[in-house]
Structure 1
Amino acid sequence: MSRFWSQVVRDLTPYVPGEQPKIANLIKLNTNENPYPPSPKALAAIQAELGDDAARLRLYPDPNADLLKQAVARRYGATPDQVFVGNGSDEVLAHAFQALLKHDAPILFPDISYSFYPVYCGLYGVDYRTVPLADDFSIDPADYCPSGGLPSGRGQPNGGIIFPNPNAPTGRLLALDAIADIARANPDSVVVVDEAYIDFGGTTAIPLTRRFDNVLVVHTLSKSRSLAGLRVGYAIGHPALIEALERVKNSFNSYPLDRLAIVGAVAAIEDDDWFAACCGKVVTTRDALTADLASLGFEVLPSAANFIFARHPQRDAAELAKALRERSIIVRHFKLPRIEQFLRITVGTDVECQALVAELRAILA
């Protein structure tokens, strides 16, 4: 701590990103990266951007990233003024907290959820209340709906609502009808649906943005498009919501996406065949890994993401994570109430997941 720190910095508890260790022959199943490479068309587009005239890198990129906005709009049947792009979905979410979720009333999000949400609240001075997940770790929409908005509603007036779908780290999916109920019951609050993992087993809420002017859907190219290293995210919503995000972005960083990120992202979004094939392989491996862990006695939550959330009734999760690490396999363990006995395991390749199961079998034995 330094005497030069502001009070905001003194009070912050920063987000802790997934570990990126430098261990030889590591099986890395802790940060939900896609085990397969990005679209060859994305790589070719990046190379072409460099090859044609690399000197253009001395020039700023398009501050509006119009090519990318147009590609996203075409993909989802939207218009470019309904699309916002940023340096990864984390930046998009950060701007949403400041532009759309900072009001007099507290915002709501699950008690077990993406751990960046309370960090953003601390950074931007946003009041919040966490809503406990059900005993099966699912989100109950009634908890977010005031009694006047839904017959079974027991929620509270709020300054906004945000949740991942599928939720992280649980992987559980909330049905589209339930999201619509939440949006309908909270007409004066923005409902942010963080869909980082939606492509691995859910239906996107983007169509709801055409029915509700208070729904903002956030996506990333880090997971299903295998571009975590490129840092590209976007949001789709009513033009008024997008304008608010643009106002914050242009008061913070007018050039969040570089030239290579823009062209690579456009090509990745347009390559549906590669996208579908990669997602399909991840889903198939996820189902096999779930069955293998269940055969070892693990309880595995239903997952619609590219990871699974599992616990063993007779073995401590921290000890299992430590034993796996000693065997050059890393998974994510959260030392948090209610989930301290769970491991979050990224779905890797078939070979990686088979190695994980083999080592767990040996550890349990």
Structure 2
Amino acid sequence: MSFLDSQFQHLVPYVPGEQTRTKVIKLNTNENPYDPPQRVIEAAKVAATTLSRYSDPTCHQVIEPLAQHFQVAPENVFLGNGSDEVLFFLFQGFMEKGVQFPDITYGFYEVYSDLFHLNTQVIPLKEDLSIDLAEYTGDATVIIANPNAPTGLAIAPEVICAFAEQHPHRLIIVDEAYSDFSEASLVPYLDKHPNILVVGTFSKSRHLAGARLGYAVGSKELIEDLNKLKFSHNPYSVNAMTLACGEASLQAQDYVDECTNKIIATREWTQQELQKLGFETTKSQTNFVFCQHPRVAGETIFKQLKAQNILVRWFSNPRIANYVRISIGTQAEMETLLQAIKEIEGVDL
């Protein structure tokens, strides 16, 4: 017998990438392959001694340096328990006129729109998997991941700004989970475009996927409204250890940049090596590669790599069922991956 409210009986929850304690090469959830900065680890140890007290609901110890990092005012920054919580509040409270997003993108958009019974319009990507903003007509809130996932493709900031200018009364949410691996951030343009809100995360370039820390950057009015929802739900959603780690991460920018540059270099090398093996790859601007082989099915590649203890991500969506998404690991991990792919029957040698 189910006691769940009937309006939620139909929900199809988000399916995360497989997590395992088995010794594998884990290239399926777009995590950072490098350890967090040492000062982050030390900060977590110190913060652990304060866990008998509530965390600071203002999150000022991260908001202030993050605002400085982005060269905005603190009142332009919101902090949440991962970018997923930030997105939750946005879908909950900012989409009265409906929402539009691509058919192939981050899976939580569809989950949240279903959860809140939103008037939703899913707009197919173009044949080349790109987003055409000209197709996003009407009054609904628009949310796009830029760069998009799992395709890895990005829209130039100037294009998004032009779209925002054409639709000044519509909210444009740009999910920048992967922007540190590209040149596509909208943050520098926000002062001239108050209807654009940028969402980001500490999970990718900042090594803190397990800490759960996300943010939004936008106009003072948008941030005030987000805080209204947060403080009506759970003011303490960002715990003390995560706050300490986030602050320490911002103090270790040189290390973050060093690791980000290594990931970008390894991404470019991996794409070139895959192309030598007959793969077609998108022009990824993220910390993963999205690729397909003309003669070997994506599911086959996924399963054969898993049999060799290498995890990548495969999606059953018919439009991209021939693709696999491969997170960028260390150079050594990617070399092992390439050797394993060479052993798959049908791959060009």
> TM-score normalized by structure 1?
0.92
Residue 124 of structure 2 aligns to which amino acid in structure 1? P
Given candidates 113, 121, 130, the residue that maps to 1:138 is 130
Residue type at the aligned position of 1:3: S
Matched, 1:352 2:333: yes
Counterpart amino acid of residue 120 in structure 1: Y
Q: 1:202: Cα distance to partner? A: 2.1
Report the 3-state secondary structure (helix = DSSP H, G, I; strand = E; otherwise coil) of the residue aligned with 1:34: coil
Partner of 2:176: 195
Q: Which residue of 2 aligns with 1:148?
A: none
Gaps of 5+ in 2: none
The residue that corresponds to 1:242 in the other structure is 223
Contact 1:333 1:343 in 2 (8 A): yes
Query: 1:74 is matched with which residue: 68, 71, 79?
Result: 68
How many Å separate the matches in 2 of 1:49 and 1:122?
37
The Cα of 1:31 is off from its aligned counterpart by 0.2
Deviations 1:316-353 (A, max 9, x none): 11111111111101100000021010000000111111
Helix, strand or coil for the counterpart of 1:11?
coil
Aligned to 1:152: none
Matches within 5 A, 1:308-319: 308-319=289-300
Question: Is the 2:147–2:184 contact (alpha carbons within 8 Å) kept by the matching residues of 1?
Answer: no
What SS is found at the alignment partner of 1:192?
strand
Displacement of 1:201 in angstroms is: 1.7
Deviation of the 1:133 alpha carbon: 1.2
Aligned to 1:321: 302
1:287 aligned residue:
268
Residues 1:125 and 2:123 aligned together: no
2:165 partner amino acid: R
* CA–CA separation in structure 1 for the residues paired with 2:344 and 2:208: 34
Q: CA RMSD in A?
A: 1.1
Cα distance between partner residues in 1 of 2:2 and 2:338: 50
Q: CA deviation at 1:48?
A: 2.8
Matches within 5 A, 1:98-177: 98-101=92-95, 103=96, 105-144=97-136, 156-177=137-158
Instruction: Report the alpha carbon displacement of residue 241 of structure 1 after superposing the two structures with TM.
Output: 0.6
Give the AA of the match of 2:82.
G
CA distance in 2, matches of 1:179, 1:131: 16
Alignment check: 8 A CA contact 1:100 1:241 kept: no
- Name the residue aligned to 1:296: 277
TM-score (norm 2): 0.97
- Rounded Cα–Cα distance in structure 1 between residues aligned with 2:251 and 2:67: 11
Q: Distance in 1 between matches of 2:54 and 2:65?
A: 20
Residue of structure 2 equivalent to 1:35: 33
Contact 2:154 2:184 in 1 (8 A): no
What residue identity is the alignment partner of 1:271?
A
- Find the partner of 1:204 among 185, 189, 202: 185
Q: Which of structure 1's runs of 4+ aligned residues deviate more than 4 A?
A: none
Matched, 1:49 2:30: no
Name the counterpart of 2:242: 261
Letter in 2 for 1:60: Y
Structure 1 Cα separation of the partners of residues 251 and 127 of structure 2:
40
Give yes or no for contact 1:100–1:244 (8 Å, CA) kept in 2: no
> Contact between 1:89 and 1:234, CA under 8 Å: does it hold in 2?
yes
Listed one character per residue, the Cα deviations across residues 275-318 of structure 1 (whole Å, up to 9, x for unaligned) are: 11000000110011001100110000000000010000001111
**CA deviation map 1:119-149 (0-9, x unaligned):** 00111121111111111111122222xxxxx
CA displacement at 1:106 relative to structure 2: 2.6
Q: Name the aligned partner's letter for residue 303 of structure 1.
A: S
Secondary structure of the structure 1 residue equivalent to 2:290: strand
Tell me the distance in 2 between the aligned counterparts of 1:218 and 1:196. Answer: 7
Per the alignment, residue 90 of structure 2 pairs with 96
What amino acid is aligned across from residue 320 of structure 1 in structure 2? Answer: I
Work out the CA distance in 2 between the residues paired with 1:278 and 1:133.
31
- Offset, 1:208: 2.1
Match of 1:179 among 160, 178, 181: 160
Residue 54 of structure 2 corresponds to 60
CA distance in 2, matches of 1:274, 1:225: 9
In structure 1, what residue type is equivalent to 2:120?
Y
Q: Measure how far apart 1:203 and its partner are.
A: 3.0
- Secondary structure at the residue paired with 2:320? coil
Unaligned runs of at least 5 residues, structure 1? 145-155
- 1:117 deviates by 0.2
> Is structure 2 residue 269 aligned with structure 1 residue 271?
no
Contact 1:108–1:158 (Cα < 8 Å) also in 2: no
What SS is found at the alignment partner of 1:58?
A: coil
Distance 1:264 1:22 in 2: 24
Q: Per-residue CA shift, 1:136-164, capped at 9, x if unaligned?
A: 111122222xxxxxxxxxxx213200010
- CA displacement at 1:17 relative to structure 2: 0.6
What does 1:222-233 align with in structure 2 at a 5 Å threshold?
222-233=203-214
Structure 2: distance between partners of 1:39 and 1:349? 16
Map of 2:81 onto structure 1? 87
